[in-house]
Amino acid sequence: MEGWLIALLICLAYLAVTLATGIMSGFRVSKSVTGFVAADRSMNTVVLYFVMGASIFSSFAFLGGPGWAYSRGVASLYILAYGIVGVVPLYFFGPRVRRLGEKFGFVTQAEVLAYRFDSRALSIILTLLSAGAFLPYIVIQMKGAGLILETITDGRVPFAVGAGLSYAVVIIYVVFSGVLGVGWTNMFQGMFMMVIAWFLGLYLPIKLYGGVGPMFEQIANSDKAQMLVAPGLDAAGDPWTWAAFSSSIVVSGLGFMMWPHLFMRSFAAKSDRSLRRTVVMYPTFQIFLIPILLIGFSGVLKYPGVNPADSIVPFLLRELTLSPVLVGLVCAGTLAASMSTGDAILHSAGSIAVRDGLVSGLGMKIDDARQRFYIRLVVVMLGITAYGLALVLDQGLVDLLLMAYGGIVQIFPLVFATFYWPRATKAGALAGLVTGIVVNTFFRLNPEFSPFAGMHEGVYGLTLNTLVLVVVSLLTQPDPRDRVKACVEA
Amino acid sequence: MNKLGLHFFSPSDAPKYRRTRTLFLIIYAAAVSAVLFPWPKVWGIYPMVLGLPFLMFWMVLAVVAIFLGLVLLYRSEPEEN
C-alpha cells in the first residue's frame, strides 16, 4: 500500500473513533439547556482536565508553536509562561463562578457579569466581543485541519474536502451531544495529542542531532545562536525586546481564563474540588509545550528557510522519510488539536449567541427546549459560515484574532471586581470595559503612537480600563447590596 | 475587607487556610516575576540543564514551582460538606 494512503487511513480511523465517542456521550446527559451547555454540572476532574487542556491547545499549538520556535527561538517560551501564569486565577474565581451558576442557573460568562452589574448592555457587548473573537478562531482551526490533510496526501485530499470532512464530524457531535460530546472527544483527543507531541518532540532531535542537548549545542555554536539568547527574535528576525516579551505574558496570562469557552467550563464542574483539582493538574498538560517547541527547534539547522514558518511540521513530515504510520499519527494528532478546540468554540458560540444575545441581551422569552434547538441551529450555521470563510480568506485572520484577544483580556478587571471589589458599579464596569476595548484597538491599529516601543497594546487597554473602572465606580452610587453580596460572598 | 475595599477572604476562612493561601500567593508572585523580568545570568544559554538552554530550564522550574504551590494550597482546602 502507498504511504499516503496508510497515513490517510489512520486519519480516517481517528475521525471515526472521534465521531463514535462524541455521539455516544450524548446519551449520558439530560435534554435541557443545562445538560447541553453545562453537562448538568456533573463533570469530574478527569474530563474537565482534558476539556481544558485540549480546548486550549489548538492547531496553533501543533503548527504555530513549532513555527515560533523555528523562526523566533526562545521567544516562543512566552506561550509556556503565560499558560501557567494564566491558569492560576481560575483556582480562585472558578469555584465562585460554579456556585453562582448552581444558585441562579447561569451557564455563560456574560450571565454572571450581567447579573452582578445588572446590565443588558453588558450581555450585548460581551456577545459581540465573543463573536469577533470566535469567528476568526474557528476559521483558523478549519484551515489547520484542511492543510494538514492536503499536505500528507500530496494534494490528493484537497483542502476543501479535508476541512469539510473533519468539521462535519465536529458539527455532528457538538449538535448531537453538546458539551459532553466536547468533553469525551477531548479526552480521547487530548491523550492522543500528548502522546504524539512527547514522542515527536524527543524523536526528532535524537534522529537529527543525536539528542536534545547536542541539538541546542549545535544551534548555540552556529550563526543562529541569537535565537537562543533571551528573549529571542521578533517576527522580522531581529532581537525581540524585553518589554514585548513580558507584556505579552502579562496580557495573554490575564486574558487566558477570560476566554468565554474556558471560563464557562466552571459551570460544568461537579464540585469546587473537581474544578480546583483540574487547575492543580493543569501544569502537567501545559508542560507538553516543551516537546512541541523542540519539534520546531529541530528544524532550525537542518532545514533553514522554510516559509511560512508555521508549515515547519508538515514540511518535516514530508522531508524526513518517516514511516507512513508515524506520519498518519502525527496528522491525526494535529487534527485532534484543531478539532478539540473547534468543537469547544462552536459549542460556546451557540450557547452565547442564544443565552446572552437573544435571552439576556434582547430580552426574548424562549423556553428551554426552543433554546436548545436555537443553540444547535447557531452551531450548524456558524460552522457553515466559518467553512465558507476558510475557503476564501487567506490573510488577516491572525490579525483579527489578536485584536479580539486584546478585547477578551479587557474582561479581567470586571471579573476581578465582581468577586473582590464590592464598590464597583454598573457605570464603572461598562465605562471601563468600553475604554479598554477602544484603547486596545486603537493601539493595535496605530502602533506608532505606543509610548513604549514594542509594548503589547493590551497593557494600555488594561491600565486605562482599570483606572476608569475605579474612578467612575467611586463617583457613582454603590450598586444594590443583594447582588454585590451574592457575588462577593459566593 | 481591607483598606482598599478589596474583599479577599470570607469571614468563615480558617486562619490556617489564610496562611497557606498567603504562602501560595508568595510562591506565585515569585514564579511570575521569575518569568517576567530579565534576571542577570538567567536570560542566557549556559549552563544547559537537561539539554535545555538555561532560560528554557528556568521556565520549566517556574511551571514546577506553581504546580507544587497549587498542590500545597489544594491540600489545605477545607473539606466540603
Domain A3-401 maps to which CATH number in 1.20.1730.10, 3.90.25.10, 3.90.950.10, 3.40.50.300? Answer: 1.20.1730.10
Contact A39, A179 (CB under 8 A): yes
* Residues A392, A396, A398, A403, Cα dihedral to 10°: -130
Is B4 within a domain? no
Contact A135, A406 (CB under 8 A): no
Q: Is A485 an 8 Å CB contact of chain B? A: no
Q: Is A88 an 8 Å CB contact of chain B? A: yes
pLDDT band of B1, cuts 50, 70, 90: low
Residue of A58, A65, A57, A75 lying closest to A293 (CA atoms) = A65
Instruction: Specify the pLDDT at position B3.
Output: 60
Q: What ipTM is given for this predicted complex?
A: 0.89
Instruction: Specify the pLDDT at position A57.
Output: 83
**Residue A280 and residue B74: Cβ atoms within 8 Å?**
yes
The single-letter DSSP state of residue A28 is G
Q: Give the nearest chain A residue to B25 (CA atoms).
A: A88
How would you classify residue B49: left for phi > 0, otherwise alpha for psi between -120 and 50, otherwise beta?
Answer: beta
| Distance separating alpha carbons of residues A187 and A343, to the nearest angstrom | 13
Is B24 within a domain? yes
Instruction: Specify the pLDDT at position A368.
Output: 86
Is B62 within a domain? yes
| Distance separating alpha carbons of residues A86 and B32, to the nearest angstrom | 10
Instruction: Specify the pLDDT at position A322.
Output: 80
What residue segments make up the domains of chain A, in order of their start? 3-401, 410-490
Is B5 within a domain? no
Instruction: Specify the pLDDT at position B2.
Output: 63
| Distance separating alpha carbons of residues B13 and B11, to the nearest angstrom | 6
| Distance separating alpha carbons of residues A354 and A127, to the nearest angstrom | 9
Instruction: Specify the pLDDT at position B80.
Output: 61
Is B23 within a domain? yes
Expressed as residue numbers, the domain containing B44 is 15-75
Residues of B in contact with A98 (CB under 8 A): none
Give, rounded to a whole angstrom, the gap between the first and last alpha carbons of chain B: 26
Is B58 within a domain? yes
Is B8 within a domain? no
Buried b / exposed e over A207-226, threshold 16 CB at 10 Å, is: ebbeebeebbbbbbeeeeee
Instruction: Specify the pLDDT at position A396.
Output: 59
Q: What is the 3-state secondary structure (H, E, C) of A60-90?
A: HHHHHHHHHHHHHHHHHHHHHHHHHHHHHHH
| SS3 (DSSP) at A483 | helix
Q: Which residues of chain A have pLDDT under 50?
A: none
Instruction: Specify the pLDDT at position A397.
Output: 65
Q: Is A364 an 8 Å CB contact of chain B? A: no
Number of domains chain B is built from: 1
Quote the distance between the C-alpha of residue A255 and its chain's center: 11
Q: Is A376 an 8 Å CB contact of chain B? A: no
Is B34 within a domain? yes
